[in-house]
């Protein structure tokens, strides 16, 4: 089972950061919510940063503005996360270039659709 960090996780069930947590769970992933705004999301322990997580993370999916994402990319590299999915509104050419420079494989597009669901299902 792959472990995914959902960066920008939310307790607001209408936000994509929450829908992604539920979609990845439904797809069988081990989900780690990342948000400084909560200690729990959808019954899962939430962390302020990927750097606070002890276990290995296989990929991160980002649901934050590019200004925050630029900082997050550095943390992903420090944590050794090999792949990042940049959702609509979260990516930029600078973030993609920085991810590549840090040895992280960037994937642009909706991660919910990428794992086989439509956001409207949630």
Give residue 121's Cα distance to chain centre: 19
CATH number reported for the structural domain that contains residue 46 in this entry: 3.40.50.720
Q: Note the pLDDT of residue 85.
A: 98
Rounded to whole angstroms, the Cα distance separating 83 from 43 reads 25
Q: Note the pLDDT of residue 54.
A: 97
Task: Give the total number of structural domains in the chain.
Answer: 1
DSSP 90: T
Can you tell me whether residue 106 is helix, strand or coil? strand
Q: Encoding tokens for residue 65?
A: 């503005």
Q: Encoding tokens for residue 10?
A: 């939310």
Q: pLDDT for 23-62, tens place per residue?
A: 999 999 999 999 999 999 999 999 999 999 999 999 999 9
Residue 64 binned pLDDT confidence (cut-offs 50, 70, 90): very high
Domain that includes residue 62, residue range: 3-121
Give residue 94's Cα distance to chain centre: 18
């Amino acid at each position: 089972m792959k472990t995914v960090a959902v960066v920008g996780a939310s307790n607001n069930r209408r936000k994509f950061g929450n829908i992604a947590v539920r979609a990845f769970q439904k797809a069988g992933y081990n989900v780690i919510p990342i948000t400084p705004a909560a200690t729990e999301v959808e019954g899962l322990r939430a962390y302020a940063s990927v750097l606070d997580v002890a276990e290995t993370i296989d990929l991160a999916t980002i649901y934050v503005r590019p200004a925050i994402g630029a900082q997050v990319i550095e943390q992903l590299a420090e944590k050794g996360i090999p792949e990042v999915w940049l959702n609509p509104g979260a990516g930029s050419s600078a973030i993609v270039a920085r991810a590549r420079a840090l040895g992280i494989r960037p994937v642009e597009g909706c991660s919910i659709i990428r794992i086989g669901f439509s956001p409207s299902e949630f």
